[in-house]
């Protein structure tokens, strides 16, 4: 099925984040596609999740592949804080 992808600055109050809206014609479901965050962009990643009320995160890759880290562990237990956002 065809979809419309729009590259956008999903967070108007911060720097650009590499993410795109995916909108399917005739569907009320919308998606945001993004790469896994780097250690220094975890706060920006969670801000997009919070600002856009994202109900579910689906990762299509492992954190590490062939011993190469593909994204930072953004789901760590405990409390994480960045840019004034606290994740529990």
> 3-state class of 19 per DSSP?
strand
| DSSP calls for 44-73 | HHHHHHHHTT------SS-SEETTEE-S--
User: How many structural domains comprise the chain?
Assistant: 1
Contact between 30 and 23 under an 8 Å Cβ cutoff? The reply is yes
Q: What is the pLDDT of residue 1?
A: 38
- CB pairs under 8 A, 24+ apart, for 24-30? none
Q: Model pTM?
A: 0.70
pLDDT at 79 (0 to 100):
79
Which residue segment(s) compose the domain that 12 sits in? 4-87
Nearest of 20, 52, 48 to residue 33 by alpha carbon: 20
Each residue's pLDDT expressed in tens, for the chain with a length of 88 residues: 333 445 445 445 556 778 888 888 888 888 899 989 988 888 888 888 888 888 899 998 889 999 999 999 888 788 777 667 777 7
């Amino acid at each position: 099925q065809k979809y419309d992808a729009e590259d956008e600055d999903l967070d108007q109050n911060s720097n650009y984040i590499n993410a795109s809206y995916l909108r399917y014609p005739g569907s009320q479901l919308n998606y945001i596609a993004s790469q896994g965050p780097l250690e220094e962009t975890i706060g920006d990643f969670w801000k997009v999740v919070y600002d856009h009320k994202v109900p579910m995160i689906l990762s299509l890759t492992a954190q590490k592949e062939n011993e190469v880290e593909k994204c930072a562990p953004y789901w760590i237990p405990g409390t994480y804080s960045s840019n004034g956002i606290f994740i529990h």
